A and B are shown apart, each in its own frame.
Chain A
């Protein structure tokens, strides 16, 4: 099949868009948890003073995050080919439906490939995410030494892992945009 479209002009690619979606979901879940935690503390209920209560809610929010990520990924997989089709159709009005379908399939297949650059970016951004989570874990231990409640400790751990995961996504996005070096 002859390739009709020179796609350098499609500026943001599959991986970048996917990273934006996952980072956005991560940020939304983290912010929702922070708002929930603050309002629960402010309500001053006796329950909010127990570790069990917070463990339950953290597990619930992890579940919400996983479900949101699955729904986001499914929606993205549906919307992405549609946007490509519309864009191609607008740019090449003479293109037949068959050509368009083949072109979109070819683009998606190539864009979704996890190649050496993708793996390098994943490794480097994962290192940033884990570094942040690690710092958060150390801070949580320090909070115990400073006689803060274990509730503060689990909040620090949860938030550092959540923010670490968001940073991982943002770092990936940065590397995809700016490029990456082996050294």
Chain B
């Protein structure tokens, strides 16, 4: 049986530790719309590798500190 994975991110936390950086500032620094940053943060959209690196570059952290590839826990969804 195939395991299910999802991509999670720490953008909200990283923004908080970057002087509560706003989504608008992050959007300006990465060249995308604020809506896209909001969608990524809420897990509604998975960014391209290019954009993922740009976001990591803004926070000056490795990409895997921003995005994580996690196995989905099926037990929670079955309940």
Task: Count B-side interface residues using an 8 Å CB cutoff.
Answer: 24
CB of A106 closer than 8 Å to a CB of B: yes
Inter-chain contact total with CB atoms closer than 8 Å: 72
In the complex, residue of chain A having the shortest beta-carbon distance to the beta carbon of B38: A8
Which residues 165-183 in A have Cβ within 8 Å of B in the complex?
Answer: 176, 178-182
In the complex, residue of chain A having the shortest beta-carbon distance to the beta carbon of B35: A13
* CB of A46, distance to nearest CB on chain B (Å): 53
Instruction: Give 1 or 0 for each of B2-36: 1 = CB within 8 Å of chain A CB.
Output: 00000000000000000011111101100111111
**B residues with CB within 8 A of A:** 20-25, 27-28, 31-36, 38-39, 42-48, 51
**A residues with CB within 8 A of B:** 3, 5-8, 13-16, 106-107, 110-113, 115-118, 176, 178-182
8 closest pairs, A vs B, by CB?
A: A179-B44, A115-B32, A117-B36, A13-B35, A113-B33, A3-B22, A110-B27, A6-B22
